[in-house]
Structure formats: structure tokens, C-alpha cells
Amino acid sequence: MSLDGTYDNGNIFAKILRGKIPAARVFEDDHVLAFMDAFPQALGHTLVIPKHSTARNLLDESPERLSPLILGVQRVARAVRAALIPDGLTVTQFNGATAGQTVFHLHVHIIPRWEGVPLARHAGGGMANPAELKALADRIAAKIS
Ligand code: AMP
């Protein structure tokens, strides 16, 4: 998928938004939904997506939707930090398959980092245990302020 193209309403995050497939939900407001990445690159890997958007990537998004998205990312990142006490946080966002994007609904990754712990492969590692993801989501949700 190139940078240009049409939004596919059947993408996996659109299905999560419609409640068609499960996700370990962390936080939701009028603008954004945060949930655990099912193939985490590190413990606590969380995704934040705009809820009312057909942007495939950052370049597609309107300023009106981008502003609450980045505010949501900061809010969730603070909760991830408070819940898991990482040494650092990697915040990433991929645009186009060549850049590593695999799901074409705009999203931002929040990945906790610990000294000496390497990142697992992007979108290529093993699937996490759903019960463990739910427990992590609950811990992070408890720290949303
Ligand atoms: P990207 O490659 O930047 O488009 O990121 C897509 C992310 O979605 C990857 O980190 C995947 O591990 C993650 N992912 C794929 N399917 C699911 C799913 N059903 N639930 C949660 N995360 C998913």
C-alpha cells in the first residue's frame, strides 16, 4: 500500500472500533480509542487511534482530528509511564507499507522501554496472551488522569 489510496472500512482497527473484533481497551473519549497492541514490541505496547477518521496515515488527517489525537497520545503515554515505570517511551507512527505500516487506519504506537531490553520486531512477533493484555490494559487505564 502506497501513501495514496482509499480508506478500507474493513481494516482491522475499523473493525475494533465497530466492536466486531476484540481488543484490550485502555481508554476512550469522544475522539480517540487506546488499546493494547496484540503483537507487542515490548510489555505495555499501546496503540492510540482516532475514532471518527478515514485517514490512512498522518498525511491524510485533518488538523481538527489530529489535535485531539496527539493530546490523547500524551494522556495515554503518561498513564503507561505511571503504570509500568519504564526508563523511556518510544512513540512511533508509520506511513505507507514501505515505511513499515501494516494497518491502514491512522495510529500511534506508545512503546515502553527499559534499559538493556531490546525491542521485539515490529508487527512480526508473537501474539500476546489476551488475558495478560487485558490485565495490562486495566493497569494503564487505572492511571489515566
Ligand atoms: P503498523 O505496522 O504501524 O501499521 O502497526 C499496526 C500494529 O497493529 C502492529 O504493531 C500490530 O502488532 C498491531 N495489530 C495488528 N492486529 C492487531 C489486533 N487485532 N489488535 C491489536 N493490535 C493489532
Q: Could you tell me if the CB of 46 is within 6 A of ligand 1?
A: no
Q: How many residues does the chain have?
A: 145
Q: Could you tell me if the CB of 37 is within 6 A of ligand 1?
A: yes
Angle at which helices 130-141 and 63-84 cross, to 10°: 100
User: Cell triple for residue 29?
Assistant: 473519549
**What are the C-alpha distances in Å from 132 to residues 37, 113, 124?**
12, 18, 19
User: Cell triple for residue 91?
Assistant: 512513540
Q: Catalogue the active-site residues.
A: 107
Q: Could you tell me if the CB of 22 is within 6 A of ligand 1?
A: no
- Report the Cα 106 to chain-centroid distance in Å: 9
Cα of 12 vs centre of ligand 1, distance in Å, is 8
Cα of 37 vs centre of ligand 1, distance in Å, is 6
Nearest ligand 1 atom to the CA of 21 is 19
One digit per residue, the tens of pLDDT, for the chain of length 145 reads: 689 899 999 999 999 999 999 999 999 999 999 999 999 999 999 999 999 999 999 999 999 999 999 999 999 999 999 999 999 999 999 999 999 999 999 999 999 999 999 999 887 778 999 999 999 999 999 999 9
d(Cα 46, Cα 38) in Å, to the nearest integer?
Answer: 9
User: Cell triple for residue 111?
Assistant: 512503546
Q: Give 82's DSSP letter.
A: H
The pLDDT score that the predictor gives to residue 82 is: 98
Q: Could you tell me if the CB of 114 is within 6 A of ligand 1?
A: no
The pLDDT score that the predictor gives to residue 125 is: 76
d(Cα 94, Cα 9) in Å, to the nearest integer?
Answer: 19
The pLDDT score that the predictor gives to residue 1 is: 63
The pLDDT score that the predictor gives to residue 38 is: 97
SS3 73: helix
Cα of 67 vs centre of ligand 1, distance in Å, is 22
Tell me the CATH number for domain 12-141: 3.30.428.10
| Residues 6 or more apart in contact with residue 92 via CB below 8 angstroms | 108, 109, 111
Domain boundaries, the chain: 12-141
